[in-house]
């Protein structure tokens, strides 16, 4: 079992959100190993039916167990949002106020649509992602991560054909269980087509009008589809940078799927290897780096703001990191293992626009270099330097 960087504060009740298969239940078993806990698994049809029929059973059973337990774990709570009203009542009842709740979920969207009680700050929020390179340690291999992603199940499989089948099944199950059965869309075929197109355009600026034409839906529905991906933790936005720098900025965001392997499954490319020194490899590498930054930002509670900058004359900064109380960092991401001064030319164009900022190139080249104030680092060193002041928190 891998040591996870996500560390919920056990002094308080909490939500643990994350896509299916990221290891939420396994993590809770680990962190609550020595605690007296009662677990309700809503993926179990009998449990779901029992509490769906009578949600108040949670209150009566919790009171009956109150002296013998400290925690109540509810897995996939979005399946029965009404249970959160019962959780709230238990939190405020003198007889059960000592109980803490660990509430997992793979869809914030159903909770939003149901107008669910999110407990008014009484439960902290955590998010769990596929495995980070930090969590994998010696088991991490970059090319494997770019081809298959880092969902925990991948590391229990020994053959590529098994990894391919797992990722295909994962993509199908997402459509069936998370989207269709939960009624997040009215028609499945346009959404299925959207997923393939979203995977193909992963990491590029979203053109909602073009996307709607390709999927046969209107712009509003195309935007809703992206929101579904974000709300089910299958992806995240990278916003366009908004500051005083330059007038010509493109304001539409980029969208990244949460895992390179799932992205390749959705676009149907699992049998086509990601080969170094190709355009596809460069895009996959950038995707991987953005996923790592997104995960570490949440795990380390950094509160960094990520964005990109692209001007109308096609100058683009891959990643801008705004850090509270510290200089902004502009990052150029290169998959090459032989960095040169030419790789810093785009950043050099922005030196005057960001006074006091730090400029860095991250690549696969292990040699640290400096190009007249622009630092070039191996991507591992770059990420660790970016978050260096926060590691001690974990």
Contact (Cβ atoms closer than 8 angstroms) between residue 376 and residue 365: yes
- Residues in CB range of 5: below 8 A, 6 or more apart: 132, 134, 135, 295, 296, 299, 300, 394
Residue 392: what pLDDT? 58
Domains of the chain: 13-127 (3.40.50.300), 131-394 (no CATH)
| pLDDT, mean of each 10-residue run, the chain (394 residues) | 92 94 94 92 95 96 95 94 92 94 89 70 93 96 98 96 97 84 82 93 93 90 92 94 58 94 96 95 98 97 95 91 96 96 94 94 96 95 91 56
H or E element: which one contains 112? Answer: helix 108-113
Residue 248: what pLDDT? 40
Residue 383: what pLDDT? 97
State the Cα–Cα distance between residues 42 and 55, nearest whole angstrom: 12
Taken in order 255, 258, 263, 264, the sign of the CA dihedral is positive
Residue 125 has φ and ψ, to the nearest 5°, of: -110, 130
Contact (Cβ atoms closer than 8 angstroms) between residue 212 and residue 226: no
Indicate whether this model's pTM tops 0.75: yes
Residue 115: what pLDDT? 60
**Secondary structure of residue 87 in the 3-state scheme:** helix
- Residues in CB range of 309: below 8 A, 6 or more apart: 240, 241, 245, 249, 315, 316, 317, 320, 330, 350
């Amino acid at each position: 079992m891998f040591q996870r960087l996500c560390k919920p504060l056990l002094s308080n009740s909490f939500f643990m959100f994350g896509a299916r298969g990221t290891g939420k239940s396994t993590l809770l078993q680990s962190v609550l190993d020595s605690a007296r806990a009662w677990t309700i698994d809503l993926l179990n049809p009998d449990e779901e039916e029992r509490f769906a029929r009578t949600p108040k059973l949670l209150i009566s059973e919790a009171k009956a167990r109150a002296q013998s337990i400290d925690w109540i774990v509810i897995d996939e709570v979005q399946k029965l949002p009404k249970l959160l009203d019962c959780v709230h009542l238990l939190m405020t009842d003198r007889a059960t106020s000592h109980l803490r709740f660990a509430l997992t979920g793979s869809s914030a969207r159903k909770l939003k649509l149901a107008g669910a009680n999110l407990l008014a700050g009484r439960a902290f929020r955590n998010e769990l992602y596929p495995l980070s390179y930090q969590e994998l340690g010696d088991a991490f291999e970059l090319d494997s991560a770019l081809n298959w992603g880092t969902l925990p199940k991948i590391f229990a499989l020994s053959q590529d054909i098994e990894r391919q089948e797992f990722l295909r099944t994962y993509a199908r199950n997402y459509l069936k269980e998370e989207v269709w059965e939960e009624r997040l869309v009215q028609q499945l075929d346009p959404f299925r087509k959207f997923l393939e197109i979203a995977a193909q355009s992963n990491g590029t600026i979203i053109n909602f009008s073009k996307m709607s034409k390709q999927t046969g839906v209107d712009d509003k529905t195309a935007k809703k589809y992206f929101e579904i991906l974000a709300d089910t933790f299958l992806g995240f936005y990278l916003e366009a940078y908004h500051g005083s720098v330059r007038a010509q900025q493109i304001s539409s965001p980029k969208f990244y799927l949460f895992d390179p392997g799932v992205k390749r499954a959705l676009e149907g490319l699992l049998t086509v290897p990601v080969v170094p020194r190709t355009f596809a490899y460069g895009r996959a590498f950038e995707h991987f780096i953005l996923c790592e930054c997104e995960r570490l930002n949440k795990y380390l509670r950094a509160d960094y703001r990520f964005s990109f900058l692209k001007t109308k004359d096609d100058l683009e900064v891959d990643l801008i990191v705004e850090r509270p109380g510290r200089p902004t960092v502009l990052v150029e991401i290169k998959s090459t293992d032989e960095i040169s001064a030419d790789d810093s030319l785009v950043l050099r164009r922005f030196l005057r626009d960001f006074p006091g900022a730090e400029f860095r190139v991250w690549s696969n080249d292990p040699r640290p270099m400096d190009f007249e104030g622009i630092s070039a680092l191996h991507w591992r060193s770059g990420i660790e330097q970016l978050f260096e002041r926060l590691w001690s928190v974990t």
